Amino acid sequence: MNQFKEKLIEKDEQLSAWIYQKGRNKLVRILTFIIAHSADPHIWMGASGAFWYWGDAFMKEVMFRQFVLGFILMLCSSTLKYTFKRPRPDYPTASMYYVKKLDKYSLPSGHSVRVGTLIISIGQAIPFSLWLLIPWGIAILISRLTSGSHHVLDVIAGFLFGSISTIIIISFWTI
């Protein structure tokens, strides 16, 4: 089992490095920066609050649920990061300097958890939003790799954790 784990991590690191290298041209780096930050927690917590404040009764319920889900899963993903303690990729990325100081662990990807949560939660309540949420979510997942912030397994695990946790929670909290 230990040999399987070591081989899996080795292949994950190789694939992650290959994807990171493919994203090194200037245009991809700029797009990665913009796209990646569109899933930052303060943006989505603030957006949930704004939609709640100015929305109708239905939107208030959707955004309140999203805010609560986002907060709970942010705490859970942070706890998992400190449980697994998988270091972030060690690429020469200037934009990661401060992130590595504050959030040095990478499994699971918090942005990927958030993407899974948003797609499932908002998509369930407002199905027509999926045409925008799914491509945005895919772009976020890719940006976490091309920015050098995460390994492939961090992103996959984060997305699955966020999606599955949200499915379980909203099965008890329908709108």
pLDDT digits (tens, 9 = 90+) for 25-82: 888 878 888 888 888 888 888 888 888 889 899 989 988 898 889 889 989 999 999 9
The segment with the largest mean pLDDT, out of 6-10, 15-19, 93-97, 156-160, is: 156-160
pLDDT tens per residue across span 61-71:
988 898 889 88
What would the two tokens of residue 151 be? 């390994």
Higher pLDDT, residue 100 or 10: 10
The secondary element (H helix, E strand) that includes residue 80 is helix 57-84
Phi and psi, residue 105, nearest 5°: -105, 155
* Residue 39 per-residue DSSP state: T
| 48 neighbors 109 (Cβ within 8 angstroms) | no
In this structure, what DSSP letter does residue 47 have?
Answer: H
Q: With pLDDT > 70 as the criterion, what percentage of the chain qualifies?
A: 93
Q: What integer is the mean pLDDT of 104-111?
A: 88
